[in-house]
Structure 1
Amino acid sequence: MKFSKTIAFLLLIFAVYWSYKALMPTYHSDQDSALQSFSTDRALVHVENIAKEPHAVGFPGHANARGYVISELKKLGLETTTQEGYTAGDWANLSKATNILAKIEGSSEGKALLLLSHYDSNPHSSFGASDAGSGVATILEGIRAFLAENKTPKNDIIILITDAEELGLNGADLFVNNHPWAKEVGLVLNFEARGSGGPSYMLIETNRGNGTLIEEFTKANPKYPVANSLAYSIYKMLPNDTDLTVFREDGDIEGFNFAFIDDHFDYHTALDTYKRLDKTSLAHQGSYLMPLLNHFSEVDLNNLKSQDDFIYFNLPFFNLVSYPFEWIWPMFGIAVIAFVLLLITGFKKQRLNLKDLFGGFIPLLVTLVINGSLGYFSWSALKWWYPDYNDMLHGFTYNGHTYILVYAFLSLAVCFWVYHRFRKISTPNLLAAPILLWLIVCGMVAIYLKGASFFIIPLFGMLAAFMVTINQEEPNPFLLVFLVLPAVFIHSPFIKMFPVGLGLKMMVAATIFTTLLFFLVLPFFGQLKNKDRFAYLSVFLFAVFSISAHIKSDFNEKRPKPSSLLYVHNADKDSAIWATYDYRLIDWNGQFIGGKKRIPKAGEYKTLPSKYRSEFTYVADAPKKAIAAPWIDTLKDTIIGNDRVLELCVTPKRHVNRLDIYTNPIKLSSAKVNNFQLSDYFLENRKNRLITHYITDNDYTELVLSFPKDLVLELTFYEASNDLLTNTAFTVPERPKNSIPMPFVLNDAILVTKTIKFE
């Protein structure tokens, strides 16, 4: 029996490994594969060409990336057009977007299938290989393979490669609200990335139920679906920001997002390069596109809307498993009844007793409290021990995967040690507490987070194992491992998914899921007599991975430290400062700030909006340079009724990339920027920020503002150029190779501020 338990334990470890391995296809060189099949190697050629240089809107590489995509579509024999126009989306981020469009004509008059990605990269240093060169490459290669079959689809297939997605979904906004093809679209497949590796997750966008979409997705039968209705439920509650969101909100058009999110430290940085893109992730995108393209190009896309929602989750060997929301409460009721009946049976057979049964709650609560606390304080502890981590704004370090292992094994050590202390309590008595806990969890999610109701599936396995332990003194270890396999396959990936997707601040999710999974596997672990040995083994692995994480905690050329530097010139005061967002300076920016640095007072310097609301950490006085402020011309200033109407034109006197305009706290009746009307909703809910204009070809910014005539309007202009390292007025050297520009903030920039008051 001891040998059998050892083999069963090894099988359990393999099941954990397989729960991750089965998520993705295996990459192998396929450059010479059949022309009718998707080739990852051929797609990689597109990624390499698109990501040769940063290509954000307004930067030199932008036109080159656009030209490449257009030429490749034309090589496929597709008539390719562009759509150009100003738009500010819902975020008041104005830009001139240039979308790329092509169409494959279908044989019917039904709705069209639209393939979607974007070709712009994030300002200013990202090469955009993964985000979203990989998406563009997936579509180009997928369409090539589809056309090689020489068949006419039933539905039109529209290829839309949008622009200015990174600035506020502007290209999608331009298409959905202004292009005639938008009314023809029945379904969208959007390919994205939020990192440079890992499995690609499927997320649905719909204003109604997901039932029909899930049914059709299942019929298409992609081989490696990674999706679950928990992520879908959370996604619906969060402010979503992909191009597909615009289709849903403005066009009531359903769709699927496909995005890989691992190696998040590369996202929106100079590390988002061709060489760092995980080839397996690109292959995964292709494994979604081809079956879905073949399926949805033939089915009726007019009837995809549904009032029904489905629970769904991926499972090895079964692909996507789904069932209606209507099954949630019956399944929960069956689990409750089964638990009660098993308790009655256990007491009748004298396998359960009240003292030990209640005693089983002690190790459960102790492990939850300890492991929850370890996870909750982990990120704060890591940043205290390694202060440089504060400059990783992603919240996920280069050795982040190792930290997940560190805390997972530490949590296991706690679980094994605590339950070893209660080894005198029999396994059936120990199981009652975790089953009750999981019933409470399943009941709560059935009420508040219905998409997570598939948690009941592993619980049925645990209930079956509970029945076995009640009826057998020495249950077969292989049977127990078999019964806990659903728990391993479903819950193991969550241990990694939450910290990867939301940052190491969510390590608490990893430690809690590790603990909850331990409870589900307790029918097998309870049979192990020497749990302390497994605790020691877990501590040993915790130590090994802790040492590994420490060794890789420094920064070097492969793991460069983010850094920032700005020159800020106040045109009103004719003064200048150096500024940084860094918590820990490096020699490169320290030579300008280090010796004279001071911490700015709260509100002393306004910083431009950023993803994580970063503020200047240090500033230092800087020499005044002859940096020209923008020319601000008042074209009209008149009174119409009770409103004062101002028309201004802001023209750069130097090459710039961005203009931000703020007002004093004032209610604007209306606002128009470059002939684009800002919505009443935005004007009602904005604070002081009016507009951000991402400038192309040094274009002007024209404002038409209307406000109550008895109020005073104050406008502050922030004009920025990302040329601090190349401007001849400065002698800022290139960064060392062990550092990269800090993402999500205005960086490597010369910023000029100017305020005008209209009394």
Structure 2
Amino acid sequence: MKNIHSVSSLLLILLAIFWSFKSSMPSYTPHSSIADTLFSTDRALVHVENMSKEPHAVGFVAHSDVREYLISALKNLGLQPSIQEGYTAGDWGNLSKATNILARIKGSNPGKALLLLSHYDSSPHSSLGASDAASGVATILEGIRAFLHENKLPKNDIIILFTDAEELGLNGADLFVNQHPWAKEIGLALNFEARGSGGPSYMLIETNKGNANLIKEFTAADPQYPVANSLVYSIYKMLPNDTDLTVFREDMDIEGMNFAFIDDHYDYHTFRDDYDRLDRNTLAHQGSYLMPLLKHFSEADLGRLQTINDSVYFNVPFFKMVSYPFEYIFPMLLLAVVTFIILMILGFQKRRLNIKEIALGAIPLFLALVINGLIGYFSWPVLKWAYPEYQDILQGFTYNGYSYIAAFTLLSVGVSFWCYHKFGKGSTQNLLVAPLLLWLLICGGLAFYLKGGSFFIIPVYGLLASLLILINQKSPHSILMLLLTLPAIWIFSPFIKMFPVGLGLKMMIASTLLTTLTFFLLLPALGTFKKKLQYATLSLLLGISFLIAAHFSASYTVDRANPTSLVYLLDADKNQAHWATYDHVLSGWTAQYIGVQKEHPQPNEHKTLSSKYGTGFTQLSAAPLKSISPPLITTNKDTIVGGYRHLDISISPQREVNRLEIFTNDIPISKAIINTIPLSDYFLAHRTNGKLISHYISNNEDTHLQLTIPRDSTLALTIYEASNDLLHNPLFSVPQRPQDNIPKPFVLNDAVIITKTIRF
């Protein structure tokens, strides 16, 4: 009978884990009949398909095509779109001419406006941008269409903003916030984004103050599938952020909510970010956020959202959003500690607790944490050693990454079962004491240092209740004990998956440790299992099976394409040319050019061109010289006033180009203006690798520099001028990639680059 209870309990635990994921998203039904006043995923998909046919980064031909499509789509909704155009450099020193698209729905009241926000440019140079962020633009277009069909005048104005050049440095948002008069009228911004092509969309708050009013109103809007928690909110506030909404918060103190999905992270910024790979359930999830929030916030008082108060919040199945004030954190922690002390006293009085068994119960806990921590810590280095090609997936999340998450999670469960089989010989109530003490310490640390994670105390209450029952009953009902573990399952299961998906497999240690800590919370149900060794063996075998499955899916295919890179690098000063790559393991396509005569670049031989992960060239090979005209550099002015030297320099391309990177020698630059845009004093003081500016060029425009340096200084400008036309430039005969290769994202790729250094 106990074996039957064990198996049934295990099956119910697996069902609860499944439901923690299943209940987080809607299910998309294709070609379903939906009323005109409701959000239709099919109608939104039409916009995604039309926007993601070609890469449409700033300066690319398809960029203007997408812009014209969106202007037409807004007009079809009966709106009067306008554009805002201008240069900005943002905070990253990435200069571009951004062209924002705007429209406005007038409300009945003169109060603050609601902003619906997404960006329409794709990442240079190869991303089709279906998820990032055609999905966001399509969500807004379809949501506004459904909203307008209700023929109801909103109380608040609704501003629609499709920003440009987000991928280059949040330039469009910077242009709007600092130069458009509508920016001052905004009370709340809702931003739709992506860092993958599927999975649930997470709600992340952007605020300079407290989140309490935002969470209160978000809960009142009652989205059907909320996925949000204050732990991520607290971490997010501690880290540098890079969404358009960050500019609104930092420069204009505008409150906002991001809605972004991160699953299938390997598609992020790649050619595989296409219409077919966008998860339809995910797009439906974005729509399930927008519609209730649009209806709610178009009527709410947006001038009263700011507050100094914060709330702890999290989502769980059936209850949707649960929240409570930060002021409850320490009382709830104190209540848990006092309850623990009372239960300890009660347990000793009833002779249900034993000091020796409690002490011995700490051994399996300690061993499981250490072993699983080591497994998680060394998992990614070992995987990169066994599969060197994984180094070329710069996102850090491999195509078979989900198999690795399953494998290491199961291995952690197996190790935990084995530790408690080998050393957990005491009664269940005694085994619970060490985990309770550990979890109270964790919750205490969170209460002081990461308050947003204080909802971790909720599963601890379940563990305390289990200890109370075990002290008073020798054979409590297994279903009751299982019910008390549900908060732990529903709260922590998504985290176990989320960390390595969103941050890369290097964060597998977070999954293995969190799996172990969750196992401790499940001890009231698992501790009664008599055949722990068999469950340990089963878990370990399943974990190994997933590792084997990952091995057989490690090779590249058409669906799991190899991200490869190749550039032609011409040094105009030395009159030398090289093929260069960022790849660690050469594909057959790249090896045609980086062959047996390859060499590794010397340290600091080439500047680190701007990229998300600071990726540099890994291998070089001599290349034939081509007749390519370098940029024309003209000194318009060189004067000395007082202790400073003022330079006015123009750089004019002599061919069709997409990007210009400018680096300087190590001299102080007190003032820099690029194409009329001044670079901030902070940026100039904290430049890295000598970078001055990255100019993402539209219409082959010149780059105009106005620099102020010390009067006796010599300025050396090193210029990298690039065109993304290596595969179709008539001077070259580089073949198209095979179908199981794609351009490597996040780096300057498929480019013809000319370098030149000039001194002034």
State TM-score, norm by structure 2.
Answer: 0.99
SS of residue matched to 2:498: helix
User: Distance in 2 between the 1:680 and 1:586 partners?
Assistant: 43
SS of the residue 1:693 aligns to? strand
Q: CA deviation at 1:605?
A: 2.2
CA deviations over 1:629-672 (Å, ceiling 9, x no partner)? 00001111111222111111110000000001111111112110
Moved over 6 A (4+): none
The answer to whether the 8 A contact 2:221-2:292 is kept is yes
The aligned residue for residue 465 of structure 1 is 466
Q: How does 1:315-354 map to 2 (within 5 A)?
A: 315-354=316-355
Tell me by how many angstroms 1:31 deviates: 4.8
Write the deviation string for residues 548-602 of structure 1: whole angstroms up to 9, x where unpaired. 1111110011101011111111111111111111111011110111211011221
C-alpha contact (below 8 Å) 2:364/2:424 kept by paired residues: no
Deviations 1:230-274 (A, max 9, x none): 000000011000000000000110000000001000000000000
**1:359-374 map, 5 Å:** 359-374=360-375
Judge conservation of contact 2:424–2:431 (CA < 8 Å) in 1. no
State the distance in 2 between where 1:172 and 1:576 align: 39
Tell me the residue number matched to 1:216: 217
In structure 1, the partner of 2:532 is 531
Match of 2:499, as an amino acid? Answer: F
Q: How does 1:59-458 map to 2 (within 5 A)?
A: 59-458=60-459
For 2:371 and 2:544, the matched residues in 1 are separated by 18
| Amino acid aligned to 2:430 | N
Partner of 1:725: 727
Which stretches in structure 1 are left out of the alignment for 5+ residues?
none
Is the aligned partner of 1:753 residue 2:728? no
- For the Cα contact (< 8 Å) 1:31–1:42, is it kept in 2? no
Aligned 8 A contact 2:94 2:168 in 1? yes
AA aligned opposite 1:554: S
SS state at 2:397 partner: coil
Query: Among 737, 742, 745, which residue is 1:743 paired with?
Result: 745
How far apart are the structure 2 equivalents of 1:615 and 1:271?
A: 23
Partner of 1:474: 475
Distance in 2 (CA, whole Å) between partners of 1:319 and 1:151 is 28
Once the 2 structures are TM-superposed, how far is the Cα of residue 470 of structure 1 from its aligned partner?
1.3
Maintained 8 Å contact 1:423/1:529: no
Mapped partners of 1:139, 1:698: distance in 2: 32
Q: Mapping of 1:686-697 within 5 angstroms?
A: 686-687=687-688, 688-697=690-699
| Cα distance change on mapping 1:31 and 1:672 into 2, 3 Å | farther
Contact 1:30–1:39 (8 Å) recurs in 2: no
Contact 2:130–2:278 (8 Å) recurs in 1: yes
Q: Map residues 629-708 of structure 1 onto 2, 5 A cutoff.
A: 629-687=630-688, 688-708=690-710
In the aligned structure 2, how far is the partner of 1:29 from the partner of 1:745?
37
Give the Cα–Cα distance (whole angstroms) in 2 for the partners of residues 653 and 365 of structure 1: 66
Q: Hey, what's the Cα distance between the residues in 1 that align with 2:86 and 2:345?
A: 71
After TM superposition, give the deviation of residue 543 of structure 1 in Å.
Answer: 2.3
Query: Who is 1:613 aligned against?
Result: 614
Question: How far did residue 30 of structure 1 move?
Answer: 4.7
Quote the offset at 1:352 in angstroms: 1.1
Retained in 1: the 8 A contact 2:82–2:101?
yes
Please state whether the residue corresponding to 1:585 is helix, strand or coil: coil
The residue type equivalent to 2:165 in the other structure is A
- Give the structure 1 partner of residue 500 of structure 2: 499
Q: Deviations over 1:60-111 (max 9, x none)?
A: 1100111111100000000110000011111111000000000000000000
What secondary structure sits across from 2:432 in the alignment?
helix
Shift, 1:422, TM fit? 2.5
Q: Does 1:490 align with 2:491?
A: yes
Cα deviation, residue 8, structure 1: 2.5
- Equivalents in 1 of 2:433, 2:31: separation in Å? 52
Q: Aligned partners of 1:669 and 1:414: how far apart in 2? A: 59
Contact kept, 8 Å, 2:360 with 2:424, in 1: the verdict is no
Quote the Cα distance in structure 1 between the aligned partners of 2:723 and 2:751.
5
Q: Which amino acid aligns with 1:155?
A: N
One-letter identity of the residue aligned with 2:87:
Y
Q: Equivalent residue of 1:17, what SS?
A: helix
Deviation at residue 607 of structure 1 after TM alignment? 3.1
1:423: Cα distance to partner? 4.3
| Matched AA of 1:751 | I
- Give the Cα separation in 2 of the matches to 1:196 and 1:172: 23
Query: In the aligned structure 1, how far is the partner of 2:597 from the partner of 2:608?
Result: 20
Instruction: Give the residue type in structure 2 aligned to 1:389.
Output: Y
Q: CA RMSD in A?
A: 0.8
Amino acid at match of 1:673: I
Which residue does the alignment assign to 2:589? 588
Question: What's the secondary structure of 1:596's corresponding residue?
Answer: coil
Deviation at 1:327, TM superposition (A): 0.4
1:613, distance to aligned residue in structure 2 (A): 1.4
CA distance in 2, matches of 1:648, 1:543: 62
Range with bigger deviation, 159-168 or 5-14: 5-14
Number of corresponding residues: 758
Shift of 1:628: 0.9
In structure 2, what is the Cα distance between the partners aligned to 1:449 and 1:408?
A: 25
Q: What is the CA distance between 1:320 and its match in structure 2? A: 0.6
3-state SS in 1 of match to 2:409: helix
Q: Aligned with 1:474: secondary structure?
A: coil
Q: Using the alignment, how far apart are the partners of 2:604 and 2:687 within structure 1? A: 19
- In structure 1, C-alpha distance between the alignment counterparts of 2:378 and 2:595, rounded to whole Å: 31
8 A contact 1:31–1:40 mirrored in 2 = no
Query: In 1, are the aligned partners of 2:361 and 2:424 still within 8 Å (CA)?
Result: no
Gapped regions of structure 2 (runs ≥ 5): none
Deviations along 1:462-502, whole A, 9 cap, x unmatched? 00001111111111100000001001000111110000110
Q: Partner amino acid for 1:106?
A: G
| Deviation (angstroms), 1:539 | 1.7
> Which position in structure 1 is the counterpart of 2:712?
710
Counterpart AA for 2:19? W
The CA distance in 2 between the partners of 1:317 and 1:78, in whole Å, is 39
The one-letter amino acid of 2:722's match is: A
Partner letter of residue 463 of structure 2?
M
Amino acid paired to 1:695? I
AA matched with 1:731: S
AA of the residue aligned to 2:251:
D
Counterpart AA for 2:477: N
Partner Cα distance (2:154, 2:425) in 1: 67
Cα pair 2:390 2:398 within 8 Å, conserved: yes
Deviations 1:294-351 (A, max 9, x none): 0000011111100100000001111110000000000000000111111111111111
- Residue identity in the other structure for 1:527: T
Q: CA deviation at 1:678?
A: 1.0
CA contact (8 A) 1:629 1:752 kept: yes
Aligned to 2:45: 44
Which TM-score applies when normalising by structure 1? Answer: 0.99
1:142 CA drift (Å)? 0.1
Where 2:110 maps in the other structure, the secondary structure is: coil
CA distance, structure 2, for counterparts of residue 44 and residue 525 of structure 1? 45
Query: Which residue is equivalent to 1:4?
Result: 5
1:540 is aligned to 2:576: no
Give the Cα separation in 1 of the matches to 2:424 and 2:11: 22
Aligned AA for 1:145? A
